[in-house]
Amino acid sequence: MTADTSARYREFKMPDVGEGLTEAEILKWYVQPGDTVVDGQVVCEVETAKAAVELPIPYDGVVHALRFDEGTTVDVGASIITVDVAPGSDEGTAPAAAPAPAPAAEPAAGPKGRQPVLVGYGVSEASTKRRPRRGAGAVPEQAAAAAAIQAEMNGVASAPVAGTLSRPLAKPPVRKLAKDLGVDLTTVTPTGPDGIITREDVHAATAPAPEAEAPAPVTDAPAAPVTASRETRIPVKGVRKATAAAMVGSAFTAPHVTEFVTVDVTRTMKLVEELKSDKDMAGVRVNPLLLVAKALLVAVKRHPEVNAAWDEAAQEIVVKHYVNLGIAAATPRGLLVPNIKDAHDLTLPQLARSLGELVSTAREGKTTPAAMQGGTVTITNVGVFGVDTGTPILNPGESAILAVGAIKLQPWVHKGKVKPRQVTTLALSFDHRLVDGELGSKVLADTAAILEQPKRLITWG
């Protein structure tokens, strides 16, 4: 991650603090030029697409220069700070303070791959180097042909390229069809993969060209000017940018199904009050969310097939034999979904303690990237905002997410009579590729049944 610019000055580069991240924003510098730093000292705080992380310097010295200002988004691998590791020495020349240093030459020898650093990982060689060409300056014929075809499709006339394929790419049945219809394949625009001409392309070449219609006159009224005081533009970056991309990707990749159930949770609320005074629960926060989490864990235990993920590349359903329970948390930086590792193995006091630590850490903005990786199912508590329920979007890579609505006193038929009872609505969204309606319904029904009769935590758990 570091490279000597001389015997005296060393560059500290932006590390990959979250396995696969490509950039990070510098939120705050804790040092200035001239400050003395020691190995392991935190020099800045950066925000990645997953969390805010403090970066320690890996050597002793004096800060010579800060390469970027606060608020700047920096690519992984770019030098962010220069340190004088031999202050007072006359040896070495200070490197120029360039915001985007040129890539360093390849080392003659050394370990390959990603090298661990104090925080995260160094830059992978694969992310900074191009694959060597097969020939010295030679252009493969297929690449040249594809470039020519793409230029034609884009409506850009291109001169013939020496060495391009003289014969259009098409399968024998397509060539026979073109011959039968009298179509010259060299005049057909291919739409198949790798520039292959398909049957549809041949048929399209024989269809008569549609007559151009005169465009209707545009009579748009001039837009009224908007003053700066009437709008505020907020840059989309960091956690907000990552959340937006993840939600769009999830919504348009996994076919979502959401089911709802309204349940009487009066007995659960009484149990919450009893647990608050239980000596085994001393020092931990007891709230309805704790029992909702425990109820969902029991439901997943009874129906383990729901705790799965879809592997698109392998075309397999991966059933997880562990539950990393995600808890959606609203923070000043945006939505975070850290998870409690191996939540299925925790006792109720342990689950309460882990839940409290997870929420407080998220609100303080100190959630680490590792805490948000590997989740299997998630709970989002929209009830804290007074909302009855919602249709939550799956956290990418997970199979289900449970939304918990507000708990309200409502008229309810109890033992044949209408009485005021504490009622809430649960909503379970699941990935319909791997969870069918029956399985999703059973998980939701079991969760509701436990909250209606909490003693099922014992009989079912």
Which of 342, 377, 380 lies closest to 359, judged by CA? 380
Which of 384, 302, 373 lies closest to 337, judged by CA? 373
Write the CB contacts of 397 (distance below 8 Å, at least 6 apart in sequence): 309, 375
Burial class (CB in 10 A: 0-12, 13-18, 19+), 267: middle
321 is catalytic: no
> For tokens 């490197």, what's the residue?
95
What number of CA atoms fall less than 13 Å from residue 111's CA on the CB side? 7
How would DSSP label each residue in 111-158?
A: --SPPB-SSSB---HHHH-PPPPSSSSPPPHHHHHHHHHHHHHTT---
Task: Return the DSSP state at 208.
Answer: P
Angle at CA of residue 238, ends 237 and 240, nearest 5°: 75
Tokens of 300: 């997943």
Alpha carbon separation from 112 to 9, 106, 109 (Å, rounded):
24, 11, 9
C-beta separation of 435 from 258 below 8 A: no
Which SS3 state, helix, strand or coil, does residue 309 take? Answer: strand
* Residue 377 β-bridge partners: 325, 400
H/E segment holding residue 316: strand 316-319
Dist CA 201 CA 190 (whole Å) = 6
C-beta separation of 320 from 305 below 8 A: no
Dist CA 265 CA 65 (whole Å) = 60
Alpha carbon separation from 5 to 39, 45, 78, 292, 374 (Å, rounded):
19, 24, 14, 56, 39
Q: Which position among 303, 344, 414, 432 bears the catalytic label?
A: 432
C-beta separation of 8 from 86 below 8 A: yes
How would DSSP label each residue in 83-103?
A: EESSTT---S-PPP--SSPPP
C-beta separation of 344 from 30 below 8 A: no
Residues acting as catalytic residues: 432
